[in-house]
Amino acid sequence: MTLKVLAIASGGGHWTQLLRLRKALDGCEVIYSSTRSGYATDVVGSRFVQIPDATRWDRTRFVVMAIRVAWLALTVRPHVVISTGAAPGYVAIRVAKLLGARTIWIDSVANVEVLSLSGQHVGKYADLWLTQWPHLARPTGPHFFGSVM
């Protein structure tokens, strides 16, 4: 059986960091998802699904994004969800846990002083919760094993 992975992140640095994990996903069936259609060219040969961009400040867009991400998780039925943030990854991890998937959250390297807001909230739902800064690691998570940048 091939492991099915949903790799999901917002645009910009979140997406860049997610792409740096591609080698670790070799041998898996990976479905990539992000907020910009142009990112499909970054993952040629893999399935790419665009989702709406949203933040917590725009509740309507957030609800639309959450529904699309939930539908994606329901239709893909991944064995594993991995995200480098932000809001779409949070939603994907929450839904995937309900479906029995294993989940991995890697907080953005940009969050030097404190964990991201999404990272602070998703930690208790992620099977593996990571930070890219050693001083942000805690015994109960997030854990530090290095950075992807």
**Tens digits of per-residue pLDDT, 3-52?**
999 999 999 999 999 999 999 999 999 999 999 999 999 999 999 999 99
- Counting the structural domains of the chain, the total is 1
pTM for the complete prediction?
A: 0.95
As a whole number of angstroms, the distance between CA 128 and CA 79 comes to: 14
149 within a domain of the structure (yes/no)? no
pLDDT, tens only, 83-110? 999 999 999 999 999 999 999 999 987 7
The CATH number covering residue 104 comes to: 3.40.50.2000
Closest CA to 145 of 89, 102, 106, 116: 106
Domain carrying residue 129? 4-144
123 within a domain of the structure (yes/no)? yes
Indicate if the pLDDT at residue 1 is higher than 90.
Answer: no
